[in-house]
Structure formats: structure tokens, C-alpha cells
């Protein structure tokens, strides 16, 4: 079946620095979503992309369907950015296939 | 205020019992879904409903039965519970089931089966 490979599985950043998360897909996907799971366990929608890039504050995401990958860039990381980040790819119109998550820890 | 309400937030059950997980959405969406996240696994798609009709079922066991009494409700009944059913169950909804209609997720119900 469709698979989503997410990396890294864990990431530690100092406050003010940045990095990128990546998801590779085993097949062509129509769209990708990025989520952050907060301390209460809620899945917060960050981005939905069918193509190209989107930016929201210190976060920027890109999706290349042809090359089968998506990235999430975090810049100027803050303590409250800590949490688990998931990508989820949409192949059929309604079914999402999730990555295994990236556990991000931002320390002072 | 949360627009997708899942109840309860935490649930403990004994093996062999039956539980119902509640999901209500106040977004006017026509499609609703259930996903499950077991320990150390990614979220997995379980069911999708559109206009109260089952669209897709990726759950092998008939012990999992969605119930849609109203368009904005999709509850999940689980019978003969097993310890392996322990997971966080997420409900989601979207305007429709065609492309480019990103689902929104509830906060999940964390189920522990002893």
C-alpha cells in the first residue's frame, strides 16, 4: 500500500535556530497535510498543499508531487514549537496516509 | 471552542467489554472519518462516511462498528474489547470526500483496555 516515510524521527533545536522535516512518498500523492500534535494530544492543522509552497509565520512547507516529497521548514524555533509533527498524504480524495512523526524538542 | 467534539477524552475498559466513542462536528461537514493511532505507529485510516453512508472501511474486524444517527455524528462502537485495541482514536470531518477538502481532526479519545 501507499507509504509515507518521515524523517527525522526526533529533532532537538536550540531556540532561534531552524531545521527541516521531510516526508517521502512511495507513490504519487495528490496533496499533503502537515499537523502538530500539541501537549493535549490534539492534531493542529498547519498546512494543506496540493502543490507548491505555503508559508505561515516561521513555518514554510513545500510539496512536489512529481518528485514525491514534502518538506516543513521551521525557522527561529521557539519553545512552544516543541511537539510531534506529522505529515499525511492524500492519494484518494478522502483517505490520509500518515508518516510516523517527528518529535521536536526546542530548548533554551 | 472545538468544532469537533470527541467524548470521552480518556477511557479505560476491561477485556471483553463494549464501549462507544462519541464524535460530533459543528462545522456543517458532510463527511466524517475515524483514524486510530496505536503505540509507536502512525495514524491509520479506519472508516469514512459521507452523508451518513459508509464510503470506505479499512478495519478488518467487525468488532468496530461506526454509527451515524445524525449527519454531524459518527460514533464508534467497539465490542469484545482486547488489549490490542488500546490506542488513541481520532475523529475527523471534511466538507466532502473529493480532492482538496482537507479534513479537520478532533482531540482524540485515548482508550486503554486492561
Parallel, antiparallel or unpaired: strands B109-113 and B10-13:
parallel
B65, B77 Cβ separation under 8 angstroms: yes
Do the domain assignments include residue A71?
A: yes
What pLDDT is recorded for position B2? Answer: 72
d(CA A77, CA A33): 20
Do the domain assignments include residue A108?
A: no
Parallel, antiparallel or unpaired: strands B64-67 and B75-78:
antiparallel
* Beta-bridge partners for A83: A104
Do the domain assignments include residue A26?
A: yes
What pLDDT is recorded for position A40? Answer: 77
Do the domain assignments include residue A53?
A: yes
Do the domain assignments include residue A40?
A: yes
Q: Supply the DSSP symbol for B73.
A: B
The closest CB to that of B42, out of A30, A95, A99, belongs to A99
d(CA B79, CA B113): 12
CB contact under 8 A, A100 and B100: no
CB contact under 8 A, B104 and A45: yes
Domain CATH for A52: 2.60.40.10
Residue range(s) defining the domain that contains residue A41: 4-102
pLDDT tens digits, B65-105: 999 999 999 999 999 999 999 999 999 999 887 766 788 99
pLDDT tens digits, B4-17: 999 999 999 999 99
From first to last of its 108 residues, chain A has per-residue pLDDT tens of 668 999 999 999 999 999 999 999 999 999 999 999 987 778 889 999 999 999 999 999 999 999 999 999 999 999 999 999 999 998 766 789 999 999 999 999
- Nearest Cα to Cα of residue B92 among B20, B19, B4: B4
Residue B1 binned pLDDT confidence (cut-offs 50, 70, 90)? low
B18 pLDDT more than 90? yes
Residues of B in contact with A42 (CB under 8 A): 105-108
A100 to chain B: nearest residue by CA? B42
- Chain B within 8 Å of A61 (Cβ-Cβ)? no
For chains A and B, CB pairs below 8 A equal 65
Do the domain assignments include residue A107?
A: no
Helices (H), chain B: none
Count of the separate structural domains present in chain A: 1
Q: How far is CA A92 from CA A11, A100, B11, B50, in A?
A: 31, 20, 32, 14
Amino acid at each position: 500500500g501507499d507509504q509515507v516515510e518521515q524523517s527525522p524521527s526526533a529533532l532537538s533545536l536550540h531556540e532561534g535556530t531552524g531545521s527541516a522535516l521531510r516526508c517521502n512518498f512511495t507513490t504519487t500523492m495528490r496533496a499533503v497535510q502537515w499537523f502538530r500534535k500539541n501537549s493535549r494530544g490534539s492534531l493542529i492543522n498547519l498546512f494543506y498543499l496540493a502543490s507548491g509552497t505555503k508559508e505561515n509565520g516561521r513555518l514554510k512547507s513545500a510539496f512536489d508531487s512529481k518528485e514525491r516529497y514534502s518538506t516543513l521548514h521551521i525557522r527561529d524555533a521557539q519553545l512552544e514549537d516543541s511537539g510531534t509533527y506529522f505529515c499525511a498524504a492524500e492519494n484518494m480524495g478522502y483517505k490520509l496516509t500518515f508518516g510516523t512523526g517527528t518529535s521536536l524538542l526546542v530548548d533554551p | 471552542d472545538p468544532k469537533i467534539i470527541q467524548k470521552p477524552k480518556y477511557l479505560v475498559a476491561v477485556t471483553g467489554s463494549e464501549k462507544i466513542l462519541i464524535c460530533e462536528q459543528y462545522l456543517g461537514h458532510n463527511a466524517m472519518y475515524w483514524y486510530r493511532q496505536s503505540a509507536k505507529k502512525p495514524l491509520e485510516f479506519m472508516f469514512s462516511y459521507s452523508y451518513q453512508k459508509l464510503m470506505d472501511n479499512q478495519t478488518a474486524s467487525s468488532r468496530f462498528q461506526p454509527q451515524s444517527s445524525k449527519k454531524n455524528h459518527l460514533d464508534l462502537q467497539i465490542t469484545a474489547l482486547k488489549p490490542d485495541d488500546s490506542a488513541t482514536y481520532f475523529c475527523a470531518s471534511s466538507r466532502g470526500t473529493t480532492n482538496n477538502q482537507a479534513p479537520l481532526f478532533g482531540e482524540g479519545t485515548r482508550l486503554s483496555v486492561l
